Amino acid sequence: MKGREALPHEGGDGRPEGQSRHVPVMLRRCLDLLAPALERPGAVVVDCTLGLGGHSEALLTRFPDARLVALDRDKEALRLSGERLAAFGDRATLVHAVYDELPDVLGRLGVPRVQGVLFDLGVSSMQLDEADRGFAYAQDAPLDMRMDQTTGVSAAEVLNTYPPGELVRILRAYGEEKQAKRIVSAIVREREKEPFTNSARLVELIRDALPQAAKRTGGNPAKRTFQALRIEVNGELSVLERAIPAAVKALDVGGRIAVLSYHSLEDRLVKQVFAAGAATTAPPGLPVVPEQYQPRLKLLTRGAELPTEEEIAENRRAAPARLRGAERIREDVE
């Protein structure tokens, strides 16, 4: 699960509850990766996953000449981060949108190209910490899990209405859950007695359904099922499949993109897009590679970079983070 912000603490700095100066995941490294592009005059940076605004605040502070466009599908996140970023005035433009809508957002704002893009994927700390959102398996809550609570189906609807085969596919594909069939059999049996509404019942069912050996490894036995449901409810992987190529396309030459992901499915998708952009597309055997076949991207990280042990000790939600970065080095040639 994602840790877009560390756990909220009392700030003593005059900020609203939950907006104290906790540090977002791998903050310094993200800023350093983007810095060469954002130190240009008139640079525009897009924070595709605004959350509580920690990364955005740091971007606006470190790069005083940059303009920020920040997206989030969660209206409560936009409200809270709007308070946090109010002091930056018209340098910050906050937009209610899913990040695969980036081309439309930039088009409406009249921004043809940007110099930096940041993604901090997954579920935000605010969503995890608000019990009534249903993201966390550690506390009982309605099974909602929608990042935008104004649209789409809830986790409860998925559990209560999807065919068994589809539920098995979701748990295997999105949760990498080896015991998917066993869990789904229990879900189908129980939903016939009474529809699922709350997370505690689902957690208990998963505990009862799993063999003892499966419960002894990998933390809470419900975490993979909850991850899978969240990804399905929010269409996260299909959105990401569209969003990363769109973000690369929006980059100016010399522009940079940094992506923080929190599970292997996200990281694999980002890796594939970056690797394809950094490879030549020329047929083998050409003595000289024409311009249209040259790589569009230069990789800025060797593989995926990990948080330091010190950061994980300070913020346990940083533990699964994987960071990849790339620079746009040429235009698309038709």
Residue list, annotated binding site for S-adenosyl-L-methionine: 53-55, 72, 99, 120, 127
**Residues recorded for the chain:** 334
What are the binding residues?
A: 53-55, 72, 99, 120, 127
Largest interatomic CA distance in the chain: 69
Q: Which is nearest to 304 in space by CA: 255, 250, 268?
A: 268
C-alpha to C-alpha distance for 204 and 221, rounded to whole angstroms: 10
The phi and psi torsions of 121 (rounded to 5 degrees) equal -80, 170
Would you call 30 helix, strand, or coil by DSSP? helix
DSSP structural state of residue 44: E
**One-character DSSP codes across 72-132:** ES-HHHHHHHHHHHGGGGGGEEEEE--GGGHHHHHHHHT---EEEEEEE-S--HHHHH-GG
The H or E element containing residue 203 is: helix 199-209
**287 token code pair:** 């003595």
Cα–Cα distance list, 319 to 28, 40, 136 (Å)? 16, 33, 17
C-alpha to C-alpha distance for 66 and 241, rounded to whole angstroms: 28
Provide the CA 58 distance to its chain's centre, in angstroms.
18
